[in-house]
Structure 1
Amino acid sequence: MTEPDVRLVRMTDDEVAAWLPAAMAHYEQARLEAGDTPEEAAAGRRASEERFFPDGRLVEGQLLHAIRAGDDEAGWLWLGPWNERGELWWIWDLEVHPAFRRRGIARRAMLLGEEVAREHGASRLMLNVFGYNDGAIALYEGLGYEVASLHMAKPL
């Protein structure tokens, strides 16, 4: 199978501003699907926006990319340092639009993201994936990611 023509293109401030409402709504919905109450999901969204987008712009050091598949915008990848030291980086968000899924684009974007993190001095890359997201879990395991922490829940 031929690797897809995938590139990461840094988003401009205007592109970030246009992306932010939809991406944060997507994050809030994912938290709801993972079992948060509406209040908890909204609080998680607000906390993320306050930490990373305090004035509607991405804070210094965080990198938000459009995923380009050929000439098409196929999704986004957001990664950046976990803290000021910079050796531990985090994949904050990966989204491939439904029309582009099952083509290897997410896998290629992740590999490109690893290169970006290495170039910026990262020695470790981590991420969070909600337990209901079987496809993403399979992708990450296939790329060599291992469980570092596990939260479990049971409805009562």
Structure 2
Amino acid sequence: MLKLRPMETNHFQKYLSFAVNEYAVEKIAAGTWTPEAAQKNAQLAYGRLLPNGLETPNNFLYSIFNDSEIIGYIWFGTDNENSSMAFIFDFEIYKAYQNRGFGSKTLDLVSRETKNMGYTSLGLHVFGSNSRAIHVYQKSGFNITDINMQKKL
């Protein structure tokens, strides 16, 4: 059975190390950051968003469990520009568990959780190159609200 459980401190430390590196790689691939600046920029971004780690107000980090096994994580919190909207800052189902519907089921759980917390909508960002994730999000009822575009020169 799929469940969300508040992330424990030891898992948070592993998550943070992985997430900062992954974010830097994604921003390089998207052409947003240079390889030289990416790691520092990613560390600054996470430090700004989670200054108190797991204790940062209005931020909720969960481990995703299938029965007793951690299969991924999700982090959401109050949107910086709209306090009635929850925003998914980071979400991953580990590779070994992908293509089994866990992503869609997790989004359903998070939708219920955020609604119960009093949020009126749920937003997220997805890199344009991540067509698999875009498909899952659209299938789960998310609509495109903004599109950033870039041209290589």
**Runs of 4+ with >4 A deviation:** 55-58
Give ranges in structure 1 of 5+ residues lacking alignment: none
- Residue number in structure 2 paired with 1:86: 83
Aligned with 1:146: secondary structure? coil
Deviation at 1:121, TM superposition (A): 1.0
Deviation at 1:38, TM superposition (A): 1.9
Aligned with 2:100: secondary structure? coil
Aligned with 1:151: secondary structure? coil
- The one-character-per-residue Cα deviations of 1:86-118 (angstroms, maximum 9, x if unpaired) are 311101111111000000001111111111111
- The one-character-per-residue Cα deviations of 1:50-103 (angstroms, maximum 9, x if unpaired) are 222325445112000011112211010111101497311101111111000000
1:25 to 21, 28, 35: 21
1:150 to 142, 147, 152: 147
Matched, 1:127 2:114: no
TM-score using structure 2 length? 0.89
The answer to which structure, 1 or 2, has the higher relative contact order (CA under 8 A, 6+ apart) is 1
Matched, 1:61 2:58: yes
- Residue number in structure 2 paired with 1:6: 2
Distance in 1, matches of 2:37 and 2:121, equals 29
Distance in 2, matches of 1:103 and 1:144, equals 18
Distance in 2, matches of 1:54 and 1:23, equals 15
- Residue number in structure 2 paired with 1:35: 31
TM-aligned CA distance change 1:138 to 1:16, over 3 Å:
same
Give ranges in structure 2 of 5+ residues lacking alignment: none
Higher mean displacement: 8-17 or 93-102 = 8-17
In structure 2, what residue type is equivalent to 1:121? G
In structure 1, what residue type is equivalent to 2:130? N
Q: Percent identity?
A: 28
1:114 to 108, 111, 114: 111
- What CA RMSD, in Å, does the superposition of the two structures yield over aligned residues? 1.9
TM-aligned CA distance change 1:150 to 1:58, over 3 Å:
farther
